[in-house]
Amino acid sequence: MQAPCSPLPADGQKLQRAAGALRLQIGLREGRSVLRSLYQQAPCRALMPDRAPDGPFEAVLVNSSGGLVGGDTLAVEIDIAPGAKASLVSQAAEKVYRSSGADTLVETRLSAGAGAWLEWLPQETILFDGARLRRKLVATLDPAARLLAAELVLFGRAARGESFTHGFLHDSWAIRSAGRLVWTDAIRLEGDIAAQRTRPFGFGRAAGYATLLYAGPAAASFLPVAREIAEGGATLVNGLLLLRFLAEDGAKLRQSVVQAAGRLRNVIAGLPETLPRVWQV
């Protein structure tokens, strides 16, 4: 579907834009991770599929608008109580359409208490040519909490022969633990993005990029496994395990992240290597 990108109507009225919000709290009851509270404002929704009795709480996040345009805002807050376990995924790839000028704003805040396990594994974000996305993820963790998080970005729709050649992208992460900032990272592309992507130390011919991060106790002990599955693209930064992925094919990039996240969740938390079902479609 082509994004709406026309200028303001002749009468000067502003185009309708989405302002979605989702707040989700997961607690622990008799040893089982359960929903404690939920607030959702369209187009943000959360679905809770059936799960194994001893498995993490699962929530599938849905953008009911079918995509994002310039001027849309989404705010997501996830709180995991001490000892609870939760897996958060998205229903489908998030599409960011061509903008008529305004930025699309997406902010995610994650928090996890002592002994909590939190998986943040949304599917890929697809940037249409001319998209403008400003996205921020902030995670606040107890030193004894564990976080496995991923973000995938694709530069356009390969099936349509489209590439992300102009627009704007500012994608940032921040991880806090014990009251201090332990890791931050950001990427910014603007203007002639086609040229920037092909510069030395750029992306070359990559269809997109992905980051997979584990923050939690004993991260260093999982580095050999991470380097094996990421083909060397793994390192430790301030005690966090960081994996980077590039691929010329978007499907291969996705599959690499699926395999790496599955292997890590199995080795670190003893969970099945198969990611939640929405990833298998």
- The type of residue at 148 is L
Secondary structure (DSSP) of 52-103:
-TTSPEEEEEEETTSSB-TT-EEEEEEEE-TT-EEEEEESSPEEEPPPSSPP
Q: How far is CA 138 from the centre of its chain?
A: 11
> Span 135-148, mean pLDDT?
98
**Mean pLDDT, rounded, for 74-100:** 96
CA distance 54 to 49: 14
pLDDT of residue 13: 52
Is 79 inside any structural domain? yes
Tokens coding 80 = 């995991």
**Band of residue 12 on the pLDDT scale cut at 50, 70, 90:** very low
Q: Token pair for residue 244?
A: 């980077």
pLDDT of residue 1: 36
Give the number of domains in the chain: 1
Cα 93 to Cα 124: distance, rounded to the nearest angstrom: 5
The verdict on residue 12 lying in a domain is: no
Which domain, by its residues, includes 45? 29-280
pLDDT in tens, 234-277: 999 999 999 999 999 999 999 999 999 999 999 999 999 999 88
DSSP string, 15-52: PP--EEEEEEEEEEETTEEEEEEEEEETTEEEE-----
Residue 157 domain-assigned (yes or no): yes
pLDDT in tens, 206-218: 999 999 999 999 9
Interval 89-97 mean pLDDT: 94
Task: Answer yes or no: is 8 within a domain.
Answer: no
Q: Is 18 a residue whose pLDDT tops 60?
A: yes
pLDDT value of residue 9: 44
pLDDT at 230 exceeding the cut of 70: yes
Task: With respect to residue 20, please indicate whether it lies within any of the assigned structural domains.
Answer: no
In a domain, 232, yes or no: yes
> 15 pLDDT exceeds 90?
no
Task: Express each pLDDT in 51-83 by its tens digit.
Answer: 887 889 999 999 998 899 999 999 999 999 999
Q: Is the confidence at residue 5, as pLDDT, over 50? A: no
Please report which helix (H) or strand (E) contains residue 261, including its range: helix 250-269
Does the residue 22 lie in any domain? no
101 CB-near residues (< 8 Å, 6+ apart): 70, 132
Q: pLDDT tens digits for 144-196?
A: 999 999 999 999 988 788 899 999 999 999 999 998 999 999 999 998 999 98
* Higher local confidence (pLDDT), 281 or 277: 277
Percent of the chain whose predicted confidence (pLDDT) is above 70: 94
Q: What's the pLDDT score for residue 204? A: 86
The answer to whether position 17 is within a domain reads no
